[in-house]
Structure 1
Amino acid sequence: MKSLRVIVVVAVLVIQVYSQRYRPEQQFNNFQQNNFIRNTPQIPRNPQSSASCPEKNGRYPTRTCDGYIECKDGVPEEKVCFDGLLFNPAAGVSAFPCQYPIDVDCTGREQTQPAQPTEECSHQYGYYRVGDAQNCGQFKNCVEGRAYIFDCPEGLAFNDVSYRCDWPDEVATCDAEAYLGFSCPPDARQFGLGQEGYRYFRSPRDCQRYFICINNKPRLYNCGDGKAFNDLINACDGIENVTGCAVPQYQSQNDYRGATTRLPTRIVG
């Protein structure tokens, strides 16, 4: 009987430990904190705030876009987002309240705290383009003032308006022709109907890649391993079917301008 009691006590302890370490809501909070802002420090607070609570529990905007009031059981506490992030009133209760500027509407509360730049970042947090209009395939994610550099996939450019990698011709700050190293001839052959038709050209640097000209702006494509662009059919074909084609061997992703392979990960709240 005594041994049975010991087994029951041990089982209860195991269940308690398991439930504390693997609760779904705790796992969600850990995932959110680790993936949205790594090593997040304490949010600055104003304990002397004269703010009030519209409701007993919730988060409410202040006159600044990066400030908010958090109410718990009717007790208000004024907080400020980290530099570079803004308070999103539309964020759910389980979401992190401070998010990137593209996800937040600051109408009527445009003022923010002074920037806290570092040698690497203009703000403590955020996404920013690296390079100029002729080198627009990289971007950096700033976390606690430290920059982490990422490359867009081959032939794409970072769009600092949407925080995405887009076609270079769709990025206002990118010179697609200079970036890809190719200009579409004005008298190019046209396929399709109307002036929006596609225009195809094999890359002058190798036959595995080719360009599609849309509105006289180039977009880079890759046929893939064992294939090459065949001018006779205006499509990718087996490399053995393309006369005089020899696929070059690149030593690194920078050997072909605009060609990168690492996929970026956008961190969202």
Structure 2
Amino acid sequence: MSRIWLPVLLGLICVYAQQCPEKNGRFADPRQCDKYIECEDGVATEKLCPDGLLFNDKARFFSYPCSYPTDVDCTGREATQPPQPSGDCPHQFGYFRMGADATQCGQFMNCADGRGYVFDCPEGLAFDSTTLQCNWPDLVAECDAEGFLGFTCPEEKVSSLGPAGFSASRYFRSPDNDCTKYFICENNRPRMYRCGVGRAFNEFINTCDGPENVTGCA
């Protein structure tokens, strides 16, 4: 072998050795969160997760290594590939809240390979982009709970003998005369509930009751 090529070959071997801390495994790129190095028998191959997914260094070797952002810690390697939007999807993969403003919180889109599929949260819940789950609207920062639910908790009268502020829970019958629907105000923020089939909310006992016991609901 030529003496000129020998140093080059040795240099390449050193690069691969540095990229593969172990003979087999997957290892995070030090700068980019959706990029990783896959090592097989000491040979390193640079790979990239699909747009919208990130490399999960906690995934087992024989499982898929790319996960949604909520499952990955990107501290120190926050860079990602440029977005690849298509249609209604800002990324090829991911969950995204729908709605033009903060009062439209109940729908989200699941994007898979660039195709968007619309889903509804259970009634009364809002989609939280930080956890990718449906939650009480008052706990979702980007949701206007009052506008979304169409209900604002009445101002609470605080006794001069008691502490200032609001009580933990207050119950209210739905103002739209829907006997099965009611609201509970937690720290003066509304949450919507429904009674089961054949039941109606009784505001005098703050629970669901037979409709014959609730005025206007028999």
Would you call these one fold, judging by a TM-score over 0.5?
yes
Partner of 2:90: 122
Partner of 2:71: 103
- Contact 1:189 1:199 (C-alpha < 8 Å) held by counterparts: no
Residue 211 in structure 1 maps to residue 183 in structure 2: yes
State the alpha-carbon separation in 1 of the partners of residues 63 and 98 from structure 2. 29
Partner of 2:168: 197
> What SS is found at the alignment partner of 1:225?
coil
Q: Which string of whole-angstrom CA distances, capped at 9 and with x for unpartnered residues, describes residues 237-268 of structure 1?
A: 0112112116xxxxxxxxxxxxxxxxxxxxxx
Partner of 1:166: 135
* RMSD of equivalent CA atoms: 1.9
Please give the residue correspondences for 1:23-62 in structure 2 after superposition, counting only pairs within 5 Å.
51=16, 52-62=19-29
Question: In the comparison of the two structures, how many residue pairs are matched?
Answer: 195
Equivalent residue letter for 2:201:
F
Residue 85 in structure 1 maps to residue 53 in structure 2: yes
Residue 220 in structure 1 maps to residue 189 in structure 2: no
State the alpha-carbon separation in 2 of the partners of residues 236 and 89 from structure 1. 48
Q: Which string of whole-angstrom CA distances, capped at 9 and with x for unpartnered residues, describes residues 126-175 of structure 1?
A: 01000121010000110111111000001000000001100000000000
**TM-score, length-normalised on structure 2?**
0.84
Identity of aligned residues (%): 63
State the alpha-carbon separation in 2 of the partners of residues 245 and 97 from structure 1. 55
1:239 aligned residue (211, 215, 218): 211
- Contact 1:66 1:86 (C-alpha < 8 Å) held by counterparts: yes
CA-CA distance at 1:96 after TM superposition: 1.4
CA-CA distance at 1:103 after TM superposition: 1.0
Higher helix share: 1
State the alpha-carbon separation in 1 of the partners of residues 117 and 194 from structure 2. 27
Q: State the structure with bigger RCO (CA 8 A, min sep 6), 1 or 2.
A: 1
Runs of 5+ in structure 2 lacking a partner?
1-14
**TM-score, length-normalised on structure 1?**
0.69
- Contact 2:156 2:166 (C-alpha < 8 Å) held by counterparts: no
> What SS is found at the alignment partner of 2:83?
coil
- Which of structure 1's runs of 4+ aligned residues deviate more than 6 A? none
Q: Which string of whole-angstrom CA distances, capped at 9 and with x for unpartnered residues, describes residues 201-244 of structure 1?
A: 00011111100001111100001110001122111101121121
Partner of 2:7: none
Equivalent residue letter for 1:202:
R
> What SS is found at the alignment partner of 1:232?
coil
Partner of 1:178: 147
State the alpha-carbon separation in 2 of the partners of residues 148 and 119 from structure 1. 11
Equivalent residue letter for 1:134:
T
> What SS is found at the alignment partner of 1:83?
coil
Partner of 1:112: 80
- Contact 2:53 2:93 (C-alpha < 8 Å) held by counterparts: yes
CA-CA distance at 1:72 after TM superposition: 1.1
